[in-house]
Amino acid sequence: MDIFDNRSASPMLIAEMQEPFDSPDYIYELKLDGERCLAYLDKDGITLQNKRKLLLNPRFPELSSINKSVKTRCILDGEITVLVDGKPDFSQVQRRALMSNKFKIQLLADKYPASFTAFDILYYKDGPVIDMPLMERKALLQKVIKSENDRLAISRYIEEQGKTLYDAAAKQDLEGVVAKRKDSLYSMGVRTKDWIKFKRLLDDDFVVLGYIQKGNGVVSVILGQYRDGELIYKGHATTGMSNVDFKIISNIERTQPPFIPPKGHDKAIWIKPYLVCIVSWMPRKNGALNQPIYKGLRDDKDPIDCKEKKPG
């Protein structure tokens, strides 16, 4: 099967976070706060797919012409981002990814246009290039893109100095850095230690189990993850909820809690476990969520795949 014709490619996954390090065997690039996406580009058009292979074209119409900026048929791996005040704003990307009204999508596309930043290439001309080492793929990526513009860019990287780039990202309040082995092959759908992330904040995906309205428009989202096939309580997040997300959450069918609720949840509204959200928090030695920040809903992950991380 041709992965271009069948739209069957899967992105390589990034390993769990580590402390920043320097190494001559790695390159380092900024971790953008957006939605991971594979772009299938040729003279006839463009297909944008997220990690679940859901079509993103209708949500980001301003990206419909980026195929004109490449020289030949290719599959690019990258990130869809929206800049607000000069920085990637994940909430704007997720807001768009969850919308279906064409008129409202176009209004947001005009106000906050998205960009696709390519950091890898999987396919070139008539076949996959996943067995080429990373640095050769990087050179090929530079070759295939005729020109960069506001809608299509190439991710920049530095060699050896991972700590320096991480410190610079932290000072600019950016999400973090990804370290990649120079000789790494592209392992579709596999999470390997060839790609490692350094992030200022920890984050994870949680099942939305319900919410508590606390007055003055404040909403606390109840979070859960799966352990041995059963949902368990993982805490709650109060900061960061948008009106758009709350409308989606509050319209989900209500249900009974999947466990005995902790104290303080007597006024909670429990919903069917259909939604997944991302939450960031400050690290703490006991593993609890410290100052959790709700970052938004995501539609590229099944709730059953939100599994509790094992210690260590």
pLDDT of residue 211: 95
Question: Domains in the chain, start-ordered, CATH in brackets?
Answer: 13-199 (3.30.470.30), 202-305 (2.40.50.140)
- Using DSSP's 3-state secondary structure scheme, residue 258 falls into coil
| Helix, strand, coil fractions of the chain, as percent rounded to 5 | 20, 40, 40
Q: Provide Rg for the chain, Cα atoms.
A: 20
**Residues of the chain with confidence (pLDDT) below 70:** 283-288, 311-312
Helices (H) and strands (E) in the chain, counts: 5, 18
pLDDT of residue 188: 96
Q: How far is CA 186 from the centre of its chain?
A: 18
Structure tokens at 229: 């096939």
pLDDT digits (tens, 9 = 90+) for 243-290: 888 999 999 999 999 999 988 898 999 999 999 999 988 765 555 677
CB 91 within 8 A of CB 85: no
pLDDT of residue 95: 84
CB 19 within 8 A of CB 198: yes
Structure tokens at 281: 């928090």
Measured distance CA(277)–CA(235) in Å, rounded = 13
Measured distance CA(78)–CA(143) in Å, rounded = 16
pLDDT of residue 311: 58
Measured distance CA(39)–CA(119) in Å, rounded = 11
